Amino acid sequence: MRKIAFVFPGQGSQAVGMGKELAENHSSVMDYFKRADEKLNIPLSKLIFEGPKEELTITFNTQPALLTTSIAILDYFQKSGLNVDYVAGHSLGEYTALVAAGTFSFEEGVYAVRKRGEFMENAVPNGEGSMAAVLGLDRERLAEVTNEVSESGNPVSLANLNCPGQIVISGSRKGVEIAGVKAKEAGAKRALPLDVSGPFHSALMRPAADQLREVLDGIEMKDASVPVIANVTAEPITSASEIKDKLIEQLYSPVLWEDSVRKMIELGVDTFIEIGPGKVLSGLIKKIDKTVTTFSVSDEASAQSVIDALKEEKI
């Protein structure tokens, strides 16, 4: 028997029109988009289906848009009756995973990530923080570089440990720039600035974390029905109180994605199904371990092909 993990994408995977075809063909899928509109009291579904792209990529729009689309796709896909052993998500995707595991209701998840996006957007004045992807340098050496730059008064730290040779750094604009130069001097192939609106997953997000705690304190959270691999620790958790603490820490701590995937493999997972727009996580997982099976489910055709492939194996 295969051991299966559902994984959910974070910011960067959004695209205008995501989920539209599935929603138009299935009223149960469209219902999620309508419920998100009602909960947030904004025409989120119109923005997802029609754009404009510039508005969709604003953090506080992107986050509820991705969660809504991924959960709507999941609902359609789960009609296949497939059992899942673990769930995980990259940054924002962790909230989608928690909705999938029953920790939040869908409406509470949409509301939480809308507020999370607002807090992240406002935590640091525009233009003062940034992020960059560093390619081809191991985490220990890159951590030495960021520590050295931070000690000089320009805060920067590791933010997303995505896969071997791909790590995102985050912090003050100057800190990220200096660290990028020093990383290349230390042997990195490239340091690519990212088109983001703030220094996410860095210590500069602590003000947002304090605000997020207030929101999560006001939301009913249940223990997860399926173990969730936490971004902050790369360990499985199910307790609602522990999940809340880890979500707050997640705002200013690195996303340990490579470690999370390795943990799931260690726990016996051999099949990863990415649910939501894009194939970013499937690509990262293959770079972490080529031997595992990955699938991406983003629309009706891809959902059916995965269901057919797994049925052939009589899972």
Active site residues: 91, 201
Cβ-contact 14, 35 below 8 angstroms = no
In the chain, alpha helices (H): 20-25, 27-40, 44-50, 53-56, 59-77, 93-100, 106-123, 139-151, 173-185, 206-217, 240-250, 257-266, 280-288, 300-312
Q: Are 75 and 36 in contact (CB under 8 A)?
A: no
The total number of residues shown for the chain amounts to: 315
The residues, any chain, with a CB within 8 Å of residue 144's CB and separated by 6 or more, are 186
What 3-state class would DSSP assign to 198? coil
Spatial distance between the Cα atoms of 72 and 58, rounded to a whole number of angstroms: 21
Q: How would you classify the pairing of strands 4-8 and 86-89?
A: parallel
The long-range contacts involving 20-28, CB below 8 angstroms and separated by at least 24 positions, are 20/48, 20/49, 21/299, 21/300, 22/72, 22/73, 22/76, 22/299, 22/300, 23/49, 23/72, 25/300, 26/76, 28/75, 28/76
Contact 153, 179 (CB under 8 A): no
**CA–CA separation, 34 and 113 (whole Å):** 17
